Amino acid sequence: MIQRRFKKNKLATTLSVILGAATVVPAFTVNAEAQAEKEIEVIKVTGMRSSIKESTRLKRDASGVVDAISAEDIGKFPDTNLAESLQRITGVSIDRTNGEGSRVTVRGFGPQFNMVTLNGRAMPASSLPEGGHASDNRAYDFQNLASDAIKSVEVYKTGKASIATGGIGASININTAKPLDNPGLQTSFGSKALYDTSVRDGVRDYNDKVTPEFSGLISWTDEEEVFGASFNGSFSERHSSATGATINNWSNRIYDGSINREVNEAYTVDGVTYPASNITNAPQMGEAYQLPSDIAYRLEDTQRERTNAQLTLQYRPLDNITTTLDYTYTKLDSQVHSSDLSGWFDSFVGTAQFTEGLNPTPEVYIENRNENAPRDVALKQIHYNSLTEDKSLGFNVNWEVTDDFTLVLDVHDSESVSKPTEGYGNALTVGIGSNVHKSVGAIYGSSGLPSMQVVFDDCDPRVSTQDGVGGYNCNGLLDASDLGTTMMQTAYSNNDNEIQQIRLDGAYEFEDGSINFGIESRKMENTTIQSNTGNQTMGGWSASNAGELPEGFLDPIDFNDSLDDYKIKDGWTQGFRGDAKEIGQWAADKYDLEFGRNPNESNNRLIEEDITALYFEVNLDGELGGMPYHMSAGLRYESTDSKSSAKSAIPTAIQWDSNNDTQVIQGSFADAQSYSVSNSYDHLLPSFDFDLTVVENVITRFSYSKTIARPSYGQLDAQTAINGGPALPTILDDQVYGSANSGNPELVPLESDNLDLSVEWYFEDTSYVSAGYFEKRVENFVGTEPLIANFFDLRDVTNGPRAEQAMADLAALGITNPDDTQLFSMVAANELGVAYDSMTALEFEDAIDILPNSDDPQMMFRYNAPVNNKEAKVYGWEFAMQHFFGDTGFGMQANYTIVKGDINFDVASDEVQFALQGLSDTANLVLLYEKDDITVRLAYNWRDKFLEDANRSAGEPEFVEAYDQIDVSASYQVNENLSVSFAGINLTGEDIRKHGRNKNQFTFGEESEPRYELGARYTF
C-alpha cells in the first residue's frame, strides 16, 4: 500500500498538534494544518511517553534525517534551556557557560556552522564576550531563551531546498505555540526555586544560593475560532560561582642548548652568588618545547537574570485564510564579579623539570629574581557586565487558495542588541599588586590545577610604600598594607544585529505527490563598536603606593576555600577580594583618570548581507517492487551581496611601560580612517531524499544535499586591529612579535556536499533501533596564512639604537645576559640622564613610559590572515535505540555518535595549523519511568576530548578534555490541575579542564557543582 504523506491523516495531524505549527512553515508542510482542520478532529496528547511516541512518528515519517522534541518532553527534562534538551539528540553536543548549556555542535560542526530559526525565521544573534572583545560569530545563544514558552524543536540534519541556508551541521527550528492551535481558554502558571550549590558562603559573596523563576501562559480563542490571542512570559534569576585557574599562553620554542632566560653558569653580584639554572630532562637539540607565560587563579560570582515574553494575535476572517501577528522579546542581564591571583614569568629560570617524550613541557617551572627586587603578585579585581535584548515582530498570512493549492506570506523584522550596563563599558579591570615574589613558578600535572610556588619576601628595601618608605612591614604575611594599585583598564563594546526577512511559500498537491516553491529576501546588518582606555596609571606597574587603599576596600581570601575536586596542594593560594567598581571610582578620583567610555573608537564595523533566494521542490510517493517509497528533490538558488565597512582611530605608537608591558596608543577618532570592501556570490544548492520501506517497519534512507555556512563576522572585518606589542623586548628574543588581527571581506561561504545513509527499524510505536552513516565534504574552509608584517608604520621601542646602547651599557657593568627588567631600567636611565644604580627597577617603571622614535625599527606583528584555502571531510556513524518495556512504565533511550575528520591537529608540528575543531564522539543514556501520576528521567551525557581552538595563541592549540554529566528530573501530578517537579543538574559535580599539546600543558580548569530545581505548576 502506498503511503500518502502529502495527505494529512490522523497520525500526521496529531504530529502537527504536538510539534506545533511554525508561524512560517517550510513549504513541504505548508497546507498541512488547513487540510487537517477540515478533515480531522484535534487529538491532544500529554505525558512523556505520548510525547516520545509522537517524536518517534515524526522521525519515521520525515523526509531526510530529522529529530524533534515536543514541549511535553522538554518540560520534563532537567534543562535550564533548550540547549540542555538538544544534547539528548543523536549527534548533538553542547558548549556550557557557567555550567549551563549555551550553544550547540552538530556532527562535529560548531555553533557558527548551525542555522537557528524561530518559527522558520532566521534569528539575529549578538553577544559581548568577557574582556570587551567583539562578538565575531553567528551562533545563537540558547541561554537567552527559556524553554517554558517553546512548543517544539526540530533538528534537520540533511539539507532541504525550502530551508534557509547557513547550517552545515544542522538547521534547528524552534516553534512557539499559537492560540488557534489550542481552541478555548487555557492558562498555566509555574514557579521554581533554583538552588545552586556552587554559590560561595565566604568573603564578598555577591550571590544567593536560592533564586526564583516564574512563568505563565494564557491562551484564548472565541467559540467560532475566528479570533485568538495568547501571551506567555517568564522571569528567571540564577546566581552561580566558579573557581579555577588559567594560563595566558604557552610559547613554543626550539631548543638550541639552553632554554629561554636560563642562567648558564653561576654569577656574583654585590658579593651574592646566584646559581645556574637547574634543568632536568632538557629537550633535545632542535626539539620544540613549550614554556608557560604565567599562572593565575580566578574566583567569579555571576548573577544572571532572564526575561522572556511573547504576544501572539490571530484572526481567521474566512475558513481558508489565517493571519498571525506575533512579537517576541528576550532579555539576558549578566553581571560577573571576579578576583584574580596571578604571577607572571619574566625572570631568571631557577628550576625547569621537563616531561618525557613529545612536546617537552615543564612539570616544575620556577623563576628567581636573583639580584632584582621582588616581582609583583597580581591581584586584579574585575567586573564584566552585559545586557542582551532580542526583539522580533512578525506577520504571517496562510491562504488556502483551493483544496490543493496554498500560499503563505511571512514577514519579520528582528533585532538583537548586546550592550554594557555601566557607563564605562562592559569590562573593568583594576590592577592591584604587591612586590613580594622573590621567586614564582608552578608545579604542573596531567590532572587538576597547577600549584603556584612562591618565595615570599616583604622585607626588600627596594620596594616602597605610599609614604616613600623603603620596604614593607616585614612581618612575613601578605596583608593590606603591602598592596598598591597598578593599572586600570576599561573596555566598551556594543553589538547590534538586525534581520529583515520576507518570504512567500507555495504548495500544490496532486494525486501522487506535491510541488513546493518559494522566494525569499533577507537583509542582515551586524554592527560592532569598540573602544578602550588602555592602561591608565594608578600606582604604576611597580605598585609603588603600597598601603594606599582605604580600609575595608579589600578582604583577604584563600582560593582553596572555594575549591574541592581541584584543591591546591602545597601551593600559594592567598589573595584579596574587593569591588572593582568601588576601587575604580576611588582611583579615578585620586589619580584624575577617565572612568567613562573612551570616545575614540578602536573599531566601528558594519557587515551587510543582502540575500535573495528561490527554491523549487517535488515530492513523490509510490511503490518500487512492492515496497513503498518516498522521494523529495529540490533546488535552491541563492544570491548574496555583501559589504564590510569600518571606521576606526589609527594607533600612533606602541608604548613601553615596564619590563614586559606595552600598550597601544590610540589616535583620535577625528582622524579615523574609513574602509569599505564589497563582495558578491551565488549558489545552486540541490537536495535529494529517498526512503524505501524494505519490509514492514524497516525504512532505509539515502540523502544528498549541498549546504553553505557563511564566514564569521570577525573574519569579514575590513580593517586591521593592533592588539599589543611583543611579550618581551625583541632585542632579547627574536622569536616574539607584536599581535594583530586582520580580516578578509572577500571570503566566500563554506560549501558542503552532504551524504546520509541510514536504516531504521520501528518495532513498536515508541521503540526503534537505527544506524546511520554521514559524510560531509567541505570546501572553502577558512584557513589562515600566518604572516609577519608592519602596520601603520608603528615603531619598535624595544629594539633599535637605544636598546642596543642599553645592552652595551649593561655589558660594561658585567651584566651580559640581561632580562627585560634590567634592559628597561637601563633604557630608562639613559632617557632620564641618570645612573643605572641611582634608582630601583620599580622606580624606573614609575618614572617614565618610553615612546618610540623615528630611529627605532618598524615593529613587526604576527597575524593570521583568513583565506578560503582549506578542504576537509567529516564523517561518522550514528547509532540510536529507544524502547518502553510494555506496561511496566520503564523505558530507555540510548545513542552513540562517532565523528571523524581527515584533518587533525598535529601536536608534533610547530607550525600554525588548520585543523577541524569540535570533532568528538558523544553518547547519551536516558532511563525513563512514567506510570500513573509519576514521571522520572535519569540522563547520562558524555562527550569525548576535542580540539576547541587550533590557534589559541601563536599557533598553540587548546583541547577540551572528556566530560560527562548526570541529570535527573521527576514530577508528580497531584491532581488534574496541579503538578510538582524536582530536577538535579550535574549531580556528581563534574569539572571542566583544558590543555595544550599534552595534558601537562594546562590552559584552563574550573570546578562545577550540582544545582537543583523545585517547582510547581497549576493549569486550568
What secondary structure does DSSP assign to 438-490, as a single string? EEEEEE--SSS--EEEEEE----TTSBBTT--BS---SSS--GGG-EEEEEEE
Structure confidence by residue, pLDDT tens digits, 907-945: 988 777 888 888 999 999 999 999 989 999 999 999 999
Q: Which three cell numbers stand for residue 745?
A: 571581506
State the alpha helices, DSSP H only, in 20-114. 32-39, 48-61, 71-75, 82-86
Residue 343 to residues 428, 577, 830: CA-CA distances in angstroms?
Answer: 20, 16, 29
What's residue 470's pLDDT? 67
The residue ranking higher by pLDDT, 893 or 722, is 893
**What integer is the mean pLDDT of 588-609?**
89
Q: What's the rounded Cα separation, in Å, for the pair 681 and 159? A: 20
* Pairing mode, strands 115-118 and 171-176: parallel
Residue 584 to residues 133, 428, 527, 587, 593: CA-CA distances in angstroms?
Answer: 20, 8, 29, 5, 9
Q: What's the rounded Cα separation, in Å, for the pair 296 and 291? A: 15
Confidence of residue 466 (pLDDT cuts 50, 70, 90): low
What's residue 467's pLDDT? 66
Per-residue pLDDT for 3 more than 60? Answer: no
Q: Which three cell numbers stand for residue 632?
A: 523529495
Confidence of residue 21 (pLDDT cuts 50, 70, 90): very low
Structure confidence by residue, pLDDT tens digits, 637-679: 999 999 999 887 788 999 998 888 888 888 877 778 888 899 9
Structure confidence by residue, pLDDT tens digits, 401-460: 999 999 999 999 999 999 999 999 999 999 999 999 999 999 999 999 999 999 999 988
Per-residue pLDDT for 193 more than 80? Answer: yes
- Judge whether 115 and 159 are in contact, CB under 8 Å: no
The residue ranking higher by pLDDT, 972 or 865, is 972
Confidence of residue 72 (pLDDT cuts 50, 70, 90): low
357 burial via Cβ count (<10 Å: 0-12, 13-18, 19+): exposed
What's residue 469's pLDDT? 63
What's residue 988's pLDDT? 95
Q: Where are the beta strands (DSSP E) in 285-422?
A: 288-292, 294-318, 321-344, 348-354, 362-368, 375-378, 381-400, 405-419
* HSE-CB for 799 with a 13 A CA cutoff: 19
DSSP, collapsed to helix, strand or coil, labels residue 893 as: strand
What's residue 350's pLDDT? 95
**What integer is the mean pLDDT of 187-213?**
90
Per-residue pLDDT for 850 more than 50? Answer: yes
Q: Which three cell numbers stand for residue 698?
A: 524497516
Contacts with 353 (C-beta within 8 Å, 6 or more apart), sequence order? 279, 280, 281, 362, 363, 364, 365
Q: What angle do CA 83, 88, 89 make, to 5 degrees?
A: 95
Per-residue pLDDT for 43 more than 70? Answer: no
Q: What's the rounded Cα separation, in Å, for the pair 637 and 745? A: 22
Per-residue pLDDT for 464 more than 80? Answer: no
Q: What's the rounded Cα separation, in Å, for the pair 36 and 181? A: 11
CA dihedral angle for residue 897, residue 900, residue 904, residue 906, rounded to 10 degrees: 80
DSSP string, 354-373: EPSSSS--EEEEEEE-TTSP
**What integer is the mean pLDDT of 12-26?**
35
Q: What's the rounded Cα separation, in Å, for the pair 358 and 922? A: 28
Residue 760 to residues 6, 18, 48: CA-CA distances in angstroms?
Answer: 21, 22, 22
The residue ranking higher by pLDDT, 131 or 24, is 131
Characterize 226-242 residue by residue with b for buried, 16 or more Cβ atoms within 10 angstroms of its Cβ, and e for exposed.
Answer: eebbbbbbbbbbbbbbb
**What integer is the mean pLDDT of 146-161?**
85
Q: What's the rounded Cα separation, in Å, for the pair 804 and 593? A: 35
Confidence of residue 548 (pLDDT cuts 50, 70, 90): very high
Q: What is the mean pLDDT of the chain?
A: 88
What's residue 15's pLDDT? 32
What's residue 30's pLDDT? 41
What's residue 628's pLDDT? 95
**What integer is the mean pLDDT of 66-87?**
67
Structure confidence by residue, pLDDT tens digits, 979-991: 999 999 999 999 9
- pTM of the predicted protein model: 0.86
**Which of 563, 582, 587, 581 is closest to 573 using CA atoms?**
563
**Lowest-pLDDT range of 85-89, 131-135, 830-834, 962-966:** 131-135
Structure confidence by residue, pLDDT tens digits, 860-889: 998 877 888 888 999 999 999 999 999 899
Strand partners, 498: 415, 525
**What integer is the mean pLDDT of 627-641?**
96
What's residue 429's pLDDT? 96
CA atoms 780, 723, 961, 998: torsion sign: positive
Contacts with 784 (C-beta within 8 Å, 6 or more apart), sequence order? 864, 865, 866, 867, 912, 914, 951
Per-residue pLDDT for 161 more than 70? Answer: yes
What's residue 5's pLDDT? 36
**What integer is the mean pLDDT of 558-562?**
94
What's residue 79's pLDDT? 60
Residue 233 to residues 352, 440, 573, 736, 880: CA-CA distances in angstroms?
Answer: 58, 53, 44, 53, 35
Q: Which three cell numbers stand for residue 158?
A: 540533511
Any long-range contacts for 923-926 (C-beta under 8 Å, 24+ apart)? 923/894, 923/895, 923/896, 923/897, 924/87, 924/88, 924/90, 924/893, 924/894, 924/895, 925/892, 925/893, 925/894, 926/88, 926/892, 926/893, 926/894
Per-residue pLDDT for 575 more than 50? Answer: yes
Contacts with 173 (C-beta within 8 Å, 6 or more apart), sequence order? 22, 117, 118, 119, 120, 153, 154, 156, 163
**Which of 260, 141, 398, 80 is closest to 734 using CA atoms?**
260
**What integer is the mean pLDDT of 5-24?**
35
Per-residue pLDDT for 795 more than 50? Answer: yes
Q: What's the rounded Cα separation, in Å, for the pair 771 and 700? A: 10
CA atoms 110, 112, 113, 117: torsion sign: positive
Q: Where are the beta strands (DSSP E) in 568-672?
A: 574-578, 603-624, 627-648, 651-658, 661-666
Contacts with 380 (C-beta within 8 Å, 6 or more apart), sequence order? 338, 339, 340, 342, 429, 430, 431, 432
What's residue 45's pLDDT? 42
What percent of the chain clears pLDDT 70, i.e. is strictly above it?
94
Place of cell 596608543: 665
**What integer is the mean pLDDT of 175-198?**
92
- Judge whether 280 and 259 are in contact, CB under 8 Å: no
Q: What's the rounded Cα separation, in Å, for the pair 132 and 429? A: 11
Q: What's the rounded Cα separation, in Å, for the pair 884 and 642? A: 51
What's residue 141's pLDDT? 81
Per-residue pLDDT for 32 more than 60? Answer: no
**What integer is the mean pLDDT of 730-750?**
87
